[in-house]
Amino acid sequence: MHQSRAEHLEVLSSAPAQPRPELPPLLFLHGAYTAAWCWEHYLPWFAAAGFHCHALSFSGHGASRRRDHLDSYSIDDYVNDVVATVATLPAPPVLIGHSMGGFVVQKYLERHAAPAAVLMCSVPPQGLAASAFGMLFNQPGLFADLNRLMTGGHVALDSLRAALFAQPVSVDDLARYYHMAQPESHRAIWDMMLFNLPHTQKVLAHLSEGRVSLLVQGAEHDMIIPASLVEMTARSYGTDATLYPGMGHGLMLEADWRRPAQDILDWLNQRFGGN
């Protein structure tokens, strides 16, 4: 795995030992409070399957530009980060977005096509309001801790466990993830709540033209984006959702991360003539 700083953006990449030229590259987009590091399992795993893999850290995240300006960044800024990163790749990539990253994928698809896109536990096109109110009433302690994390406050490891995991996770891994977690842009959160929701008709236009294939995944025990909201996202785009029993919001970090990964791989192989 190597790291680049194109346009002052951190991009972690894994190249396949045996490239398959018929396959498009993959571009992974992280959720709130994280950065490109959260794809640590997926980058080498999909590279082993023949894909050139890249994970972007949005502006203000990870080792990308201007952590000190985090609160100035909007969802549109994150979309522009994707546009800039796509321009550096030799071919249009499949976009794979988790949570906030899935929301960014939807906003990107308003104006740009992609060979395919995957929404993993994505913020729905209707925004974060239903998720926030549901968490406020059903998980008030977790809601308060996520608000503290957004502003750089300290939270208990158990809060991170509850937010991301429904399966066992080692204390060492949990502490490592906590160390790499970071605040999120208030402006971006408000964009997802209300001020910059996706224009679903524009995304649907790309889907109906066959310019984008869409896969929607969610988790049975997701405390942040409940399964009902994942199903709502799928309905909004005229497709079905795959929900993973016994898994939580951090699908790509859970003990059974290979289950959604394998389904993505099978789906991509079907579309791009793979084995």
Residues 42-76 have pLDDT tens digits of 999 999 999 999 999 999 999 998 888 898 999 99
Contact (CB, 8 A) for 83 and 112: yes
On the 0-12 / 13-18 / 19+ scale of CB atoms within 10 A, 188 is buried
Would strands 116-120 and 241-244 be described as parallel, antiparallel, or unpaired? unpaired
Q: How confident is the model at residue 1 (pLDDT cuts 50, 70, 90)?
A: low
Q: Tell me the residue range of the domain where 256 lies.
A: 2-271
Q: What is the DSSP letter of 238?
A: T
Dist. CA 239–CA 84, nearest whole Å: 29
pLDDT of res. 111: 93
> Which residues, 6+ apart, have CB-to-CB distance to 189 below 8 Å?
32, 128, 150
pLDDT of res. 30: 98
Residue with tokens 């929607």: 216
On the 0-12 / 13-18 / 19+ scale of CB atoms within 10 A, 18 is exposed
Dist. CA 244–CA 7, nearest whole Å: 36
User: Is it the case that residue 12 has pLDDT exceeding 60?
Assistant: yes
pLDDT (mean) for 34-41:
97
pLDDT of res. 229: 95
What total of structural domains would you count in the chain?
1
Residue 23 sits in a domain whose CATH number is 3.40.50.1820
Reading phi first (left if > 0) and then psi (alpha if -120 to 50, else beta), residue 261 is in alpha
User: Is it the case that residue 23 has pLDDT exceeding 60?
Assistant: yes
Alpha-carbon dihedral angle through residues 272, 199, 103, 240, given to the nearest 10 degrees: -50
Which residue did the predictor score with more confidence, 143 or 169?
169
pLDDT of res. 273: 72
Closest CA to 233 of 150, 136, 131, 162: 131
Q: How many CB atoms lie within 10 A of CB 1?
A: 13
Q: How confident is the model at residue 87 (pLDDT cuts 50, 70, 90)?
A: very high
Summarised one tens digit per residue, pLDDT across range 123-161 is 999 998 876 666 655 666 665 666 665 555 566 677 778
pLDDT of res. 212: 72
pLDDT (mean) for 106-117:
94
Structure tokens at 204: 């649907």
CA distances, 217 to each of 98, 124, 163, 220, 258 (Å): 9, 12, 17, 10, 13
Tell me the percentage of the chain whose pLDDT exceeds 90: 72
pLDDT (mean) for 93-97:
97
User: Is it the case that residue 7 has pLDDT exceeding 90?
Assistant: no
Closest CA to 70 of 38, 33, 122, 36: 33
Q: Which residues of 70-89 are buried (b: 16+ CB within 10 A; e: fewer)?
A: beebbbebbbbbbeebbeeb
Summarised one tens digit per residue, pLDDT across range 222-268 is 989 999 999 999 999 999 999 999 999 999 999 999 999 999 999 99
**Global pTM value:** 0.93
